Each structure stands twice: as structure tokens, then as C-alpha cells.
Amino acid sequence: MERSGNETDRRLDGNAAGGLLAEAFCVEMTTAVVVCAGCGAEAVVAELLRYGHEMGAILRCAGCDTAVVRIARTGDRLWLDLRGAVNLRVSAAP
């Protein structure tokens, strides 16, 4: 499907980045809530739109396309860029 030429078929969501996110964080991240630095919208990470597949995960705001979370694995290193997020909150409930 990545080669179908249909844009909406290539785009997945934050669920698909769960494995990569789990490498960087020690809590479940697909349920985390982020506030987009572009438009202020709040979203669950699972509902951000994912691009960039094989090079990394670019998770964009569904409303304004801001790259809220960028994460890539290069060999045995992980790179994380949260400049597109005002904040990110996770449940710390026991």
C-alpha cells in the first residue's frame, strides 16, 4: 500500500509507532496526551497521523499537520524531538 500512490493509504497513525515509542519511554505512550505547539489542539498520541515510515516516525497533528513527535532509530541510538509539542502527559495512576 505504501506504493499505491494513494496518499491516505500511506499515512498511518500513532498506534503504528507504539513499538518505537516503547523503546524510548518506559510507560505506555500511545495513550499519552499531547498539546500541539502549532494550533494548541490536544490529542492522544494514537490519533496523531504517522508519516516517514522507514526512516522514523513523524507524528503529525491531524488538525494542522505540525510534526508533534519525531522519533527515529539510527543503528543502536534513538532520537526524539518534541519541539512540536507544548507538553505531553502520561497517566501516573497506580
Partner 1 sequence: MGGFVSRGFRSRRRPDAETAERLPPGQYLTRDFPVLSAGPTPRTSLSTWDFSVVGALPEPRRWTWDEFQALPTETVTKDIHCVTKWSKFDTVWEGVSLDTLLAGVETDATHLVAFCDGGYTTNLPLAEVTGGRAWVAFTFDGAPLAPEHGGPARLLVPHLYFWKSAKWVRGLELVERDRPGFWETLGYHNHADPWREQRYQGD
Partner 2 sequence: MVELETAVVGQPRRLPWLAATVAAKIPETPEATTVLFDVPGWPGHRPGQHVDVRLTAEDGYQAQRSYSIASPPEASQLALTVQRLGDGEVSPYLTDEVRPGDLIELRGPIGGYFTWTVADGGPLLLVAGGSGVAPLMAMVRHRAAAGGGPPATLLYSSRSWDEIIFRDELAGLVVADDGLAVVHTLTRSQPPGWTGYGRRVDAAMLGEVFGPPTAGAVAYACGPTPLVERAATDLLALGYAPDRIRTERFGPSGG
Q: What angle do CA 5, 9, 12 make, to 5 degrees?
A: 135
Identified binder of partner 1 from the candidate list 12, 16, 33, 81, rule CB under 8 A = 81
- Please state whether beta strands 67-74 and 77-81 pair in parallel, antiparallel, or not at all (unpaired): antiparallel
Query: From CA 61, how far away is CA 73, in angstroms rounded?
Result: 21
Please list every residue from 14 through 73 that binds partner 2, using CB under 8 A: 14-16, 18-19, 22-23, 26-28, 30-31, 44-47, 49-50, 53-54
Q: For 75, left (φ over 0), alpha (ψ -120 to 50), or beta?
A: left
| Minimum CB–partner distance for residue 13 and partner 2 (Å) | 4
Binding residues vs partner 2 (CB under 8 A): 1-3, 8-16, 18-19, 22-23, 26-28, 30-31, 44-47, 49-50, 53-54, 91-94
